[in-house]
Amino acid sequence: MEEDRVLVPIPQIPDIWGMSVASPVTLPVAAKPVGEALAIFCKRPAGETVEELFGPEAVHAICNAPTTARVPPRDPWWTLLALMAIAAIMASVVLPISQIASLLIALLAFGTATVAGRPWIEYWRGCLWNRRERTRAELAALTGNAAFKRNIQALEEFRRQIGNGTLKAYAVSLSGGVTLLSGKDLACFIADHGRILLVSGNRNDWLSIPARPIPQGDIWIDLGGAVARSQITARSLIDEVDEVRYQQRVAWIREQAHKRGQGTGPLTSGLAIIEAMRHPDVRGMPFTKAMPIIRAVLKGPAASESIINKMHSGNYPEFETALHALPLEDLP
């Protein structure tokens, strides 16, 4: 009689990149290499390079951030003021003065040291935490092109949606094996320097990312038809087919406008024009014939015919500038 056999599961073996070997999966037909997927996500042709999407300055800043040392603050006067404030705090403790006077001096000096020493505080915090990645605002400041700035905002949205699993990411090895990235495998995308995975095909650059594991093989993304929320325009709001989504987005934009004190600015007036253009009595009518109805629905400065024409053509810079100053990656 044969002995009963006990089946022992074979543990997963981590590879040299720190990622466990997973059971093979099939790459979806709609999946595309990360560069093509990123361009499509930005509503650009799939063949555009990252330099064409974000500008060479921003790409250079992303790829070279891990090797770029932080520059210490170089303003001697603020540094001197901070040191004097620290000295005043120490003196208030040592000198024989009343407790109330000592406390007042210490509080005043502490506030001065905090304000004057902020550049040094940020410098040392960055050095200790190794957060040398440029912020979205810093990357946008490197480019003078409005399209580049919108695409940089889209890059952040793309990165975050991969990191939280909204967009499916796959690693395709040289042998053709496909691994669906999930759970801890996605942490590298939103980690410090995680943008490098999306803009650089050099895997040596990927090693600069402190989070592990990092993908083994080429990265492919299944967009599932998604495009960047940050690419929204007045024209796309006017033409939005999904009424529920339209109402959610308008409500969100209006809320953000009020939070930023823009309740009477071009953002709010532009939304009023968009709502007038979507009025039931206007839909399906030629724009020239709809103009009197649109103006009748509107009140105040928003009823200006020139502004209505600009909104209809999608060429109202004040509205577009205010719109894209919002964190559109959070748009419903």
pLDDT tens digits for range 53-90: 999 998 888 888 766 545 566 667 767 767 777 777 77
* pLDDT at residue 38 greater than cutoff 90: yes
Is residue 213 located within the same domain as residue 279?
A: no
Main-chain dihedrals φ then ψ at residue 193, nearest 5 degrees? 70, 15
Which pLDDT does position 1 carry in this prediction? 42
Give yes or no for a contact between 156 and 183, defined as CB atoms under 8 angstroms apart: no
Using CA atoms of 23, 26, 31, 34 in order, give the dihedral in degrees to the nearest 10: 30
Give yes or no for a contact between 273 and 311, defined as CB atoms under 8 angstroms apart: yes
Domain that holds residue 151: 32-49+146-222
Which is more confidently placed, 133 or 155? Answer: 155
In a domain, 2, yes or no: no
- SS3 for 26? coil
In a domain, 301, yes or no: yes
Is residue 311 located within the same domain as residue 190?
A: no
Only one residue has tokens 């404030």, namely 85
Percent with pLDDT over 90 in the chain: 15
In a domain, 16, yes or no: no
Which pLDDT does position 231 carry in this prediction? 75
Is residue 43 located within the same domain as residue 150?
A: yes
Is residue 244 located within the same domain as residue 195?
A: no
* pLDDT at residue 128 greater than cutoff 90: no
pLDDT band per the 50, 70, 90 thresholds, residue 21: very low
Which pLDDT does position 11 carry in this prediction? 41
- SS3 for 181? strand
Q: Are strands 168-172 and 32-33 parallel, antiparallel or unpaired?
A: unpaired
Give how many domains the chain has, as a whole number: 3
pLDDT tens digits for range 259-289: 877 655 778 888 888 888 888 887 778 878 8
In a domain, 44, yes or no: yes
The length of the chain in residues reads 332
Sheet with 168-172, side-by-side order of all strands? 32-33, 218-222, 168-172, 178-181
Burial class (CB in 10 A: 0-12, 13-18, 19+), 95: exposed
Mean pLDDT of the chain: 78
In a domain, 4, yes or no: no
DSSP state of 65: G
Mean pLDDT in residue range 124-131: 58
Is residue 181 located within the same domain as residue 214?
A: yes
Is residue 207 located within the same domain as residue 250?
A: no
Is residue 42 located within the same domain as residue 188?
A: yes
Please tell me whether the overall predicted TM-score, pTM, comes out greater than 0.75 for this model: no
Is residue 182 located within the same domain as residue 38?
A: yes
pLDDT tens digits for range 182-209: 999 999 998 888 889 999 888 888 888 8
Which is more confidently placed, 157 or 234? Answer: 157
Which pLDDT does position 3 carry in this prediction? 43
In a domain, 259, yes or no: yes
Only one residue has tokens 């532009």, namely 270
In a domain, 102, yes or no: yes
Is residue 242 located within the same domain as residue 314?
A: yes
* pLDDT at residue 221 greater than cutoff 90: yes
In a domain, 71, yes or no: no
| Domain-ending residue, one of 129, 164, 193 | 129
Cα distances (angstroms) measured from residue 93 to each of 80, 116, 134, 310: 20, 21, 40, 65
Only one residue has tokens 């989070």, namely 211
| Domain-ending residue, one of 222, 242, 274 | 222
- Residue 312: name the closest of 330, 329, 295 by CA: 295
- Residue 307: name the closest of 268, 257, 279, 253 by CA: 268
pLDDT band per the 50, 70, 90 thresholds, residue 13: very low
pLDDT tens digits for range 101-122: 777 777 777 777 677 767 767 6
Mean pLDDT in residue range 235-250: 84
Is residue 242 located within the same domain as residue 269?
A: yes
Is residue 237 located within the same domain as residue 97?
A: no
